[in-house]
Amino acid sequence: MKTIKLIFAILIIPGLMSCSVVRQGEIGVKRKVGKLDQEIITPGAVGYNPFESRIIKMPVRTMNMEITTNLPSKEGLNVRAVISILYRIVPEKAPMIIEQIGIGNEQGVISSVFRSSAADVCSRFFAKDMHSAQRANIEKEITDRMSELLAHRGFEVEAVLMKNISLPAGLARAVEEKLEAEQMAQRMEFLLDREQLEAQRKIIEAEGIRDAQKIISEGLNQNIIQWQSIEAFKALSNSPNTKVILTDGQSPMLLDPSGE
């Protein structure tokens, strides 16, 4: 009898158990007889009774959701844009998300919150701002607004990225013309600055030459000229070449004896 019970335990009891593997980037939540366990199951193998329990797996890595929508502008235009929303589930809030939102329904909630937040933020900016440096400010304001609405629901919004902005045809051309005009104005300003710097350089150079000449002219007098003449006579007298020096005592004049 004991042998039969032992065989029964070896063959039947393992059949009542099952194993599930929670992978990296996921967490698991056990549902037992319809009730959710609040304890989070981390990556690894976990055993459970398949007749009364189930392991629900949810991704907690960063997810990317793309939305194509029309964004309203301050002047009442609709700007077509492709939006990427980077978000993730807060692991500790996974049981609450399963209970209140449901499995696989999180993107519907995030999409609705985004459309509301984007409408509130974009309506305070002009259409051209979505195609300029203001876009980063718009993205940040939408991210902050979504974070306020979704934090208590268990979601962390990491970033909202506006891609493929399509302005109305007339406005797009006007923006391009404005950018071209700004670039031309910057180029002209650069050329003017360069010419002004060149003019200043020439003025400084002329002033330097003038000051040098002034210093030289003020430093020359009759005594210095006579002294330099004497020094020149000395240098000529020490020369090995034959020379005839004619002078009035102030400045020498050389004659070549060869007559060349």
Q: Do 162 and 110 fall within a single domain?
A: yes
Asked which of 28, 43, 59 is the last residue of a domain, the reply is 59
| Structural domain includes residue 52 | yes
**pLDDT for residue 9:** 47
Q: Are residues 109 and 48 in the same domain?
A: no
Report yes or no on 134 lying in a domain.
yes
- Rounded CA separation 89/79 (Å): 30
**Same domain (yes/no): 148, 71:** yes
CB 49 within 8 A of CB 76: no
What are residue 45's DSSP bridge partners? 21
Please give the pLDDT value at position 228: 66
Cα 241 to Cα 22, 36, 103, 236, 238: the distances in Å are: 107, 119, 112, 9, 9
* Residue ending a domain, choose from 134, 152, 172: 172
At residue 146, the pLDDT reads 94
- Asked if the structure places residue 192 within a domain, the reply is no
Residue 260 in domain: no
Residues 55 and 77 in one domain: no
Looking at the domain assignment, is residue 149 inside a domain?
yes
Instruction: Let me know whether 123 and 84 are in one domain.
Output: yes
Cβ neighbour number for residue 165 with a 10 Å cutoff: 16
Q: How many structural domains does the chain have?
A: 3
- Expressed as residue numbers, the domain containing 234 is 222-255
CB 118 within 8 A of CB 83: yes
Q: Is there a contact between 27 and 21 (Cβ–Cβ < 8 Å)?
A: no
Based on the fold, state whether residues 163 and 67 are members of the same structural domain: yes
Buried b (16+ CB within 10 A) or exposed e, 191-208: eeeeeeeeeeeeeeeeee
Q: Are residues 111 and 132 in the same domain?
A: yes
Residues 103 and 129 both lie in one domain: yes
The predicted pLDDT at position 86 comes to: 96
Residues 161 and 93 in one domain: yes
Residues 67, 168, single domain; the answer is yes
Give the pLDDT confidence score for residue 155 in this predicted structure. Answer: 94
User: pTM, whole model, 2 decimals?
Assistant: 0.58
Question: How far apart are alpha carbons 176 and 162 in whole angstroms?
Answer: 19
Same domain, 69 and 14: no
**Residue 54 in contact with residue 30, Cβ under 8 Å?**
yes
Mean pLDDT for each 10-residue chunk of the chain (260 residues)?
50 61 89 85 86 88 92 84 93 90 88 93 87 88 94 93 78 60 77 83 82 68 64 67 58 50
Q: Are residues 87 and 164 in the same domain?
A: yes
Decide if 163 is inside a domain: yes
